Amino acid sequence: MKRAIVTGGAGFIGSHMVDLLLERGLQVRVVDNLATGALDNLAHHRGHAALTIRQVDMSTLGPDDPVFADADYVFHFGGMGDIVPSIERPLDYMRANVDGTLAMLEGSRRAGVKRFVYAASSSCYGLAEVPTTEAAPIAPQYPYALSKYMGEVAALHWGKVYRLPVVSLRIFNAYGPRARTTGAYGAVFGVFLAQRAHGRPLTVVGDGTQRRDFVYVTDVARAFLLAAESSVSGEVFNVGAGDPQSVNRLVELIGGSVAHLPKRPGEPDCTWADISKIGGALGWKPAVSFEDGVATMLRGLDQWRSAPVWTPESIATATKSWFQYLSGVS
């Protein structure tokens, strides 16, 4: 039985990774400090003999920690997300996303892990030309994006210097069940679904014509497993649907009234992954259509009744630092 470590395994994408690995018969060790993840995301696996969960801050793990023993794969999703808090608390993001990655890399190196798959972020591209290839210039617009890119650089460096087999997957706009509902203003799906569940207007930034490369979470997990099982090393791949959808199209599928907000600095008009490289190297392509993915989310609408409900006024307050610090960023 192969053994896999999933950092952030109680979180959004990480818990779906755990689902896939257990389904494929792997032994899974989850490392999660539960700051944003939730054990409820793994409740359907309670008592599973092949699953262990360790609540710990990964940056505190020593390189010889038993969690690394005999591990075949490491899937590194753990870290801090959200844009606005990263602007307000940049050092916390560097510690979590850079120091945490370094701890996992060194432990993996010492243990002789066969494949380290890093969850990178497409935010490293900033305001990129589209469709965006992996060769596009790196231009992070805020500390979250910078911290995730620094983690990727470290991972590739460990691959080059220490021969640790590393693959980095730059995730575009992932969505799906168990998406995080933290108190921070963030991803459009979480904001819209909570508003829809409470009958409030959907808060659309700008005119809603901006497009995002939404990719369904189970497709993301499948890309990570293919990367782990491949012989590819030292490579970076985009993971997106390759078919950007407008925010207005999302509004149409969710339904409800709309309230418009000012356009924000540092946000691209379009995110669009060129996925030809991952298709050619790993044989991966998305399987879940946007319409089917949104329909699945709407069937679980009740879960969003306990999520924060954002209004134009509360969003203006929450994003004040965004406008303050990013207005001059290019």
CA dihedral 92, 110, 150, 33 (to 10 degrees): -30
Whole-Å CA distances, 93 to 7, 84, 148, 241, 290: 16, 11, 9, 27, 31
Q: Which residues are catalytic?
A: 144
First-to-final CA distance of the chain: 49
For residue 54, CA distances in Å to 7, 30, 39, 260 come to 10, 6, 11, 43
The token pair that represents 302 in the structure block: 């009740």
H helix intervals, 163-289: 188-197, 217-229, 247-254, 276-282
Q: How far apart are CA 305 and CA 327, in angstroms?
A: 34
Q: Take residue 288 and report the two structure tokens written for it.
A: 């879940």
Number of helical H runs and strand E runs in the chain: 12, 13
Q: What are phi and psi of 205, to 5 degrees?
A: -80, 130
CA angle 273, 89, 147 (to 5 degrees): 35
Question: How many Å apart are CA 173 and CA 40, to the nearest integer?
Answer: 23
Measured CA to CA, the distance from residue 127 to residue 115 in angstroms comes to 31
